[in-house]
Amino acid sequence: MLFLHIKTGHVYQYLALTVIEATMEPGVMYCAPGFEDMPFIRPASEFFDGRFKVFVPANSFTEGYFDANGRAQFGPEDGSPVEETDEEDHAHFVSGRKETPSGSAN
């Protein structure tokens, strides 16, 4: 399962639920796709407190890739055109807020 880190915009792959030995609290092991040999572990309370959201790509994975910064890119790597996406909906998904007609966020 993939998760979007709200602050950075990077996408990470959930690997496993763990136990942090020092505190015996639940943790989450995750990594950047393609970097399974370098996982991160974060307390589950932090992982599920809103810092990450489930990431569902607008297109299938056969139509996207991750750039060198770990950000999801949609469409083929050769830059050929694909369907346009609604940037407003993407921004709303990332921020969790949507601009109202008056310009204020709700």
DSSP state of 49: I
**What is the helix, strand, coil percentage profile of the chain, to 5?**
20, 35, 45
**pTM of the predicted structure, to 2 decimals:** 0.55
Q: Tell me: the pLDDT tens digits for 40-73?
A: 999 999 999 999 999 887 655 556 677 777 777 7
DSSP state of 47: I
Name the more confident of 33 and 83. 33
Q: Strand 11-20's sheet: what is its strand order?
A: 40-43, 25-31, 11-20, 2-5, 52-54
Q: Would you say residue 78 has pLDDT above 80?
A: no
Q: Tell me: the pLDDT tens digits for 5-45?
A: 999 999 999 999 999 999 999 999 999 988 989 999 999 99
